Chain A
């Protein structure tokens, strides 16, 4: 098979060679790849216990792992923020103390100097914070003036919420907000405190803004680690489940394969048993079952062989003396005119009854060959038209004696089918002779029709017909429709039973139907190719 499958749309769709067979099937059915994948998945789910166990484990443990991971990450994150907040507040407090001490140390009567000292102190503080970008500092003037005291600070940088908090308390207070750094703004913490500088006559406010860059990085790393660990855990779980399930599934698969081989007739197949666990017990039980089966089958085979052997022996042992008797009877029969009256009649009776005896023996041997399963089909292509004509011609003398007309309908051309001519001729002879015998001197119809698959031959008469329920019984051995009727042609009582087996051997159907007083019909359906059983279809009674 090529790597590319034919595409109904005419475009060629390259398909990798190692495609899952289920997907391949899906593609061949003309499904889209997505549908195909879904069906292939569904097929795997249905067929593989291992897949089901692993997937179930993942489905159940996945949410649990996710929940644990997120709880862990959350608590870690909260801890990070809390520690940062505490450190920031401490930093802010020490800043306030430092600035206040510097400002208050300056002479009381020099407000201008004090202001410049304040600015200087704040700049120093800011420079200290700039080391490692820990924080930046700026101060605002008295609340009413809102004068920016430090360089580069911006009123916008003070969150409104923090302003409000500072109105009722000396601080330090904090809020989370985006804070400016060298390149843009990042999430951060802004801590505000009220500077108590009585000499300047009003309260200043000092703001520390701490960027949370490092904490955020730590948090991100934690999340990634947690997710990675969770996935790894799931993968490990899948692997472990797979390994554990395999330990159970592998012996089951092996047992299934061995069972299939046994079913194929390889009766010597056994499981290898290791250890003493449940799987080993399964193996032991399985092997015991296989051995028991093998013994049974061997016994049956032996029986069948004995039976076949017996049939063959009886055949030989009975036929040889019968041949001698037959020849002797013939010699006597040919010389009967030289005998007195009663030995002459005796020779005639001997001759006639030997015929019956022979055909009965032949029929018995034939049916026991079928019973022993020793019948083999030797089919070759045969034109059924001349075969039917031959059978009808052979039955003509009997029909003439009975006053029946034989109507034959054949298709125009030859009707070739793979059959064993000897058997099919025997079947047809049986059907035609039966129809003439039970046809009450009415016409007997033989119709041959055919299509590409089957050849159908129907033989119908307008005679006594069949009682309800008799249609199936006609094929029973030694069955007689009306025991009070005298046999005229000395049938064996096995003819139709053998005919049924003959047709079955070809993989065909032989059916009977009939209506009392109207007539009966027999239909033989033969496959054109030997052994290809055609579908059954009901036969309508005439």
Chain B
């Protein structure tokens, strides 16, 4: 098996169908139907990825997302029934890496899961440094470690990928679309709010003052770039 997915969904037919599709893709699947049981199942199953429905009985999806994120950086992909701005943004802000809107095509779902499950064991030793001279952020790429001011910063794999993508070309301005393609592996245009929300989350961890960012800098009307090293 390539990886284990924890499916948190209360609809038995959908859960079963998800299981069929995931197994068809060579992924292992575990199921939990109740929001209250989700965190226990997560601890027990130790999945490589969580597929989380936002509408759940008991603890709702947003809260489950927050609970899991509080103790792990494991990729979380939300299943949302609505494309409503509020739900999506709330989900992303509570820690989800990506989302898929129902109804989705199995291939689309698998592509999203694969993008998050991608292994990085082929990476060369590489070390990057960005940020203002008096507040440097150094990145050990294969070791997945980020150090700022002598202390290690805990980033989720997605936040790490986002930072590395920007740091590798420190003078290039990345549009949100390019970042969606490089970090999220979207081949078509997708929701640029993914980028906005995750840049905010990343800034909260690596910036001295997230209100006046110096590590991940906004280029108005275009996108983002890494601050000067």
Contacts and interface: CB of A to CB of B under 8 A. Distances in A.
Given A330-B107, A422-B191, A320 B21 contact: no
Given A326-B104, A331-B20, A414-B221, A376 B55 contact: no
Interface of A: 312, 315-316, 319-328, 330-331, 358, 369, 374, 376, 378, 380-383, 386, 390, 394, 414, 416, 421-422, 425
A324 B14 contact: yes
A421 B192 contact: yes
Given A380-B196, A381-B220, A425-B189, A358 B103 contact: yes
Contacts of B192: 380, 421-422
Interface string B172-207: 000101000000000011011100100000000000
B106 interface: yes
Interface string B85-115: 1000000000000000011111100000000
12 contacts: A312-B84, A316-B82, A320-B102, A326-B104, A326-B106, A327-B20, A331-B24, A358-B103, A381-B221, A382-B221, A383-B222, A416-B221
Given A383-B221, A421-B192, 18 more contacts: A319-B103, A321-B13, A321-B14, A324-B13, A324-B17, A326-B103, A326-B104, A327-B17, A327-B20, A327-B21, A330-B106, A331-B20, A358-B103, A369-B84, A383-B175, A414-B222, A422-B192, A425-B189
Contacts of A325: 103
B105 A330 contact: yes
A321 B193 CA distance: 27
A322 B221 contact: no
Contacts of A319: 81, 102-103
Given A312-B82, A315-B81, A331-B106, A323 B14 contact: yes
Contacts of B14: 320-321, 323-324, 327
Given A327-B21, A382-B221, A422-B191, A322 B103 contact: yes
Contacts of A315: 81-82
B18 interface: yes
Interface in B92-145: 102-107
B105 A326 contact: yes
A378 B194 CA distance: 13
A520 B141 CA distance: 55
A358 B85 CA distance: 20
A241 to B, nearest CB: 59
B81 A316 contact: yes
Contacts of A323: 14, 17, 102-104
A422 B55 CA distance: 24
Contacts of A421: 189, 192
B228 to A, nearest CB: 23
Contacts of B11: 320-321, 324
B55 to A, nearest CB: 6
Contacts of B106: 326-327, 330-331
Given A322-B103, A331-B106, A378 B193 contact: yes
A323 B14 CA distance: 7
Interface string B154-182: 00000000000000000000010100000
A323 B104 CA distance: 6
Of the listed residues A312, A324, A378, the one surrounded by the most CB atoms of chain B closer than 10 A to its CB is A324
Nearest to B79: A323
B190 to A, nearest CB: 9
Of the listed residues B11, B106, B107, B177, the one surrounded by the most CB atoms of chain A closer than 10 A to its CB is B106
A322 B102 contact: yes
A386 B177 contact: yes
A376 B85 contact: yes
A383 B220 CA distance: 10
A379 to B, nearest CB: 11
A310 to B, nearest CB: 13
Nearest to A362: B83
Contacts of B107: 330
Contact of A386 (B24, B102, B175, B220): B175
A325 B82 CA distance: 18
B89 to A, nearest CB: 8
B109 to A, nearest CB: 8
Nearest to B54: A316
B22 to A, nearest CB: 10
Nearest to B24: A331
B225 to A, nearest CB: 15
A183 B81 CA distance: 112
A328 B81 contact: no
Contacts of A316: 55, 81-82
Contacts of A331: 20-21, 24, 106
Of the listed residues A322, A323, A376, the one surrounded by the most CB atoms of chain B closer than 10 A to its CB is A323
A339 B188 CA distance: 32
B32 to A, nearest CB: 17
A394 B187 CA distance: 12
The 3 residue pairs across chains A and B that have the minimum distance between CB atoms? A316-B81, A416-B221, A319-B102
Contact of A328 (B17, B55, B222): B17
Contacts of B81: 315-316, 319-320
A323 B82 CA distance: 13
Nearest to B16: A324
A30 B39 CA distance: 72
A28 B221 CA distance: 38
Of the listed residues B18, B188, B189, the one surrounded by the most CB atoms of chain A closer than 10 A to its CB is B189
A514 B193 CA distance: 37
B75 to A, nearest CB: 20
A411 B145 CA distance: 44
A394 B177 CA distance: 15
A374 B87 CA distance: 13
A322 B103 CA distance: 6
B167 to A, nearest CB: 24
Contacts of B21: 327, 330-331
A328 B16 CA distance: 10
